[in-house]
Structure 1
Amino acid sequence: MAASRSTFGALLRAWRDRLSPADAGLTATAGRRAPGLRREELAQLAGLSVDYVLRLEQARAKNPSAQVVGALSRALQVSRPERDQLYRSAGLLPPQDGTVSTHVPSGIQRLAARLGDVPIGVFTADWALVWWNSMWSALHGDPSVLPTAERNLARALFGNGAARATLYSIQSERGQDAFEASIVADLKDAASRYPADGQLDRLVQELRAGSDAFADHWATQTAAAQHTTDRKTIRHPEIGDILLDCDVLIVPGADLRMVTYTTASGSSDEGKLDLLRVTGGRTATARP
């Protein structure tokens, strides 16, 4: 086991050194000596503490969870074989075929990172948020403050936990009922394609038991449209209401959804989005 922990730490260090800050969506400062990501940058991208990443690299931390290994593999933009190697070196089984994949291909991460002016979030087939940029955090609030299991759109809409409590008000042009029905339709589709995924099954059972609205949508025999393009008004606590075009781009071969928000050029909403870009979602009067 000690040898496995040492291998895990060595892989983290080697793959951190090879990833350029630009490809990770970070700005490289002058006088930078690190060949790749700094340890604190990896911690930021993975939603972990710097001390924990240090202990993992030095083989002083034992038994990282599957969620931690998944977050690190996405932050490091590793290939699927490398991801599996990282899981095995942590003493874990790699994600199995037939379950919802949380792997985000490095090319998708680089593409999203280079569109830094656009709020982008990447979701899995069960609407779990697995990647986002700083503009997404500015628009919706920082997902890293939530437990990993709560970073899920279905839980934000229908659950009773932190995700629902922290979600900014979002109004769909198609109506809230249609928006909610489309998310349930997506989960139904995912459940039919991943019947062996225990985590997805637990999510569905939890929401069916805890939300009458979810249970009603799940029970309906009428096929709802899946969630794609929409116009949404987001009630931001500092900027106010922002009307945005929301587009859902499907990533072929990866079963991922890349959600983007844009505004019409020259509109007042474009100005609000520019303000978010500058302030990170915090105005001068915002409390710390």
Structure 2
Amino acid sequence: MATTEFGQAVRRWRDRVPPEAAGLPAGGQRRAAGLRREELAMLAGISVDYITRLEQGRASHPSTQVVEALARALRLSGDERAHLFRLAGLVPPGPETVPAYITPSVQRLLDRLTGTPVAVSDASWTLLMANPPYVALMGDPSRWRGNERNGAWRHFVRQVGGARQTHEDRTRFQAALVADLRTAAARYPADQRLRRLVAELRANSERFAQLWDSGAVGRHEASRKTIDHPRVGSLTLDCDVLTVAGSDLRIVVYTAEPGTEDAERLALLTVLGTQALTG
């Protein structure tokens, strides 16, 4: 692997990304022309030490997931992303694998939703990015690793989540999530990571196995959730799932009906979350 070239490329692209373009504060004295290493680490979900070792040529063989996360955080073009994979000694993911690339046009759309909780997952419901309002609403996912970043795994195996659901809503949500995942598995049958995820979910969750074996196929598109938040209290929000044609990215957006207490609490939470991140 061209380790030194890989590190040089990461450093060069890190220097060109203005922190405000990534939703980060730009104030104060900065020695870095663009993103600091700790900022890139936060955006990519990778340790600062590992990024340092990559840039200095002291780490080798980064995984596909690491390279994809760096490409996403560095906002690389399609050609640049493919080049980074090749520098890592990897073949760029092809059409037979679940796409995890957020295109520049989709990134620009996300940049405009600064006051709205938004998260992006791939077709297997593995989290790719979450903006600051989403972090303020649902918690910080930056420490999640491996299967922890997958929504189905967190729901069926870890059984954690900030939303309060009735039994009926929970049953409906579970069925929709598994049907959506089955659709992805049929669409990307050669994706080994997705096949391993399904196998591990079946082995670790009897409920998931029951739903999977039912054979249902469909899309998880929308729901209404009540979230008990420790800072602003209870919020009932609409959760809409928008699918990007051609890449199967899932953009999850939380909104509240205008003029309601839920909208006021969501707006307050967005401000409080921003202050916590920039203070």
Instruction: State if a TM-score over 0.5 links the two structures.
Output: yes
Residues 96 and 224 of structure 1: CA distance in aligned 2, closer, same or farther (over 3 Å): closer
2:222 pairs with 217, 225, 229, which one?
Answer: 229
Structure 2 equivalent of residue 184 of structure 1: 178
Cα distance in 2 for partners of 1:234, 1:224 equals 28
User: 2:183·2:217 contact (CA, 8 Å) conserved in 1?
Assistant: no
User: 1:159·1:210 contact (CA, 8 Å) conserved in 2?
Assistant: yes
**Alignment pair present for 1:261 and 2:259:** no
User: 2:77·2:103 contact (CA, 8 Å) conserved in 1?
Assistant: yes
**Letter aligned with residue 205 of structure 2:** S
Aligned-pair CA distance for 1:115: 1.0
Aligned-pair CA distance for 1:281: 9.3
User: 1:172·1:233 contact (CA, 8 Å) conserved in 2?
Assistant: no
Residues 168 and 65 of structure 1: CA distance in aligned 2, closer, same or farther (over 3 Å): same
Gaps of 5+ in 1: 284-288
User: 1:24·1:109 contact (CA, 8 Å) conserved in 2?
Assistant: no
Matches within 5 A, 1:195-274: 195-221=189-215, 223=216, 225-274=218-267
- Secondary structure in structure 2 of the residue aligned to 1:156: helix
Aligned-pair CA distance for 1:65: 2.2
Residues 58 and 186 of structure 1: CA distance in aligned 2, closer, same or farther (over 3 Å): same
Residues 210 and 149 of structure 1: CA distance in aligned 2, closer, same or farther (over 3 Å): closer
Aligned-pair CA distance for 1:266: 2.0
Q: CA RMSD in A?
A: 2.3
Structure 1 equivalent of residue 139 of structure 2: 141
Cα distance in 2 for partners of 1:22, 1:107 equals 17
**Letter aligned with residue 268 of structure 2:** L
CA shift digits 1:81-140 (9 cap, x unpaired): 221211221222322330111111122123212211111000101111111111111111
**Alignment pair present for 1:50 and 2:58:** no
- Secondary structure in structure 2 of the residue aligned to 1:97: coil
**Letter aligned with residue 276 of structure 1:** L
2:163 pairs with 152, 157, 169, which one?
Answer: 169
Matches within 5 A, 1:32-47: 32=30, 34-47=32-45
Cα distance in 2 for partners of 1:251, 1:16 equals 27
Moved more, 196-205 or 172-181: 172-181
Calculate the TM-score normalised by the size of structure 1.
0.88
User: 1:172·1:179 contact (CA, 8 Å) conserved in 2?
Assistant: no
Residues 174 and 29 of structure 1: CA distance in aligned 2, closer, same or farther (over 3 Å): farther
Residues 282 and 141 of structure 1: CA distance in aligned 2, closer, same or farther (over 3 Å): farther
User: 2:257·2:263 contact (CA, 8 Å) conserved in 1?
Assistant: yes
User: 2:23·2:111 contact (CA, 8 Å) conserved in 1?
Assistant: yes
Structure 2 equivalent of residue 286 of structure 1: none
CA shift digits 1:209-242 (9 cap, x unpaired): 2212112211225x46521122111222443321
Task: State the percentage of identical aligned residues.
Answer: 50
Calculate the TM-score normalised by the size of structure 2.
0.90
User: 1:232·1:244 contact (CA, 8 Å) conserved in 2?
Assistant: yes
